[in-house]
Amino acid sequence: MTEKNAEPQELQPNSILSYAKDLPNICSLAGLACTLLAIYFSISGLYAAAMIGMIWAVAFDWVDGLIARRMKGRTGNDRIFGGQLDVLIDIVSYGVTPAILLLSYGNFEIIYLLGAFLILAASALRLSYFSTFGLTGGTKYTGLALDNNNIILVFIFLFESMFSHSVFSVIVYISIVGLAALNVSQIKTPKLSGNPVNVFILAAYTLGMTVIYGWMML
């Protein structure tokens, strides 16, 4: 006879790979693939191709959140898993990738290790802070959101041909250290990725940068 006070059987979580079928997570992983390409091309010295990978990583990052908010039937576990996946991918896309870009452009000289560490450390601190405290007032980030790192660096690299390699390496160094400082600052910045209009603006920016950098590679 079953005891009335018996504890209910604990629900087992879904398999790890079952979450890979979730459309927002597919977009997140597509952004991770773009990030991997950006890292590969940075190390190879093909910076125009790296810029394309970096901006498409942002595009997929923004789209996955938009899709997640509009999808019906997603459980609390789906949302938690997707949020954790986003955080892990963000530190690679917006922390590791700029760090490797800086090291590669500086010919892996030891002086560039400091700048690489600063952007990576700032990214880790920024994401940990956001995971703990969330948005300020539910609408604004504390510190510059990490996706801006890629958006701004992709724009800066448009002017690479105007400078010698040594001069532009200093510009990249200063830019990345400056972004790291903004990432961990107390400035309040609006959440841009949740607005469909901003997503379309980013889409236009992404396509424009893809065309420009694609032309540079021809």
For residue range 71-108, what is the model confidence (pLDDT) as tens digits?
877 787 888 898 899 999 999 999 999 999 999 999 99
Q: Model confidence at 2, in pLDDT bands (50, 70, 90)? A: very low
What DSSP designation does 136 have?
B
pLDDT at 4 over 60: no
Does any domain span residue 10?
no
Among the residue ranges 20-24, 72-76, 197-201, the one predicted with the least confidence is: 72-76
Does any domain span residue 17?
no
Overall number of domains in the chain: 1
Domain assignment of residue 81, given as a range: 22-217
Look at residue 137 in the predicted model and tell me its pLDDT: 82
Q: Count Cβ atoms below 10 Å from residue 27 Cβ, excluding itself.
A: 21
Q: Taking a C-beta distance cutoff of 8 angstroms, is the pair 41, 50 a contact?
A: yes
* Nearest one of 86, 97, 89, 90 to 40, comparing CA atoms: 97
pTM assigned to the model: 0.91
pLDDT at 185 over 50: yes
Look at residue 72 in the predicted model and tell me its pLDDT: 79
DSSP symbols for 95-134: IIHHHHHHHHHTTT-TTHHHHHHHHHHHHHHHHHHHHHH-
The residues near 46 (Cβ < 8 Å, ≥ 6 apart) are: 217
Chain segment 140-152, per-residue pLDDT in tens: 999 999 999 999 9
Does any domain span residue 3?
no
CATH number of the structural domain spanning residue 46: 1.20.120.1760
Strand partners, 188: 142
Does any domain span residue 15?
no
Does any domain span residue 4?
no
Q: What mean pLDDT is reported for the chain?
A: 92
Look at residue 7 in the predicted model and tell me its pLDDT: 47
Does any domain span residue 75?
yes
Look at residue 136 in the predicted model and tell me its pLDDT: 86
* CA 202 to centroid of chain Cα atoms: 14
Looking at the chain, the number of H-run helices and the number of E-run strands are 8, 2
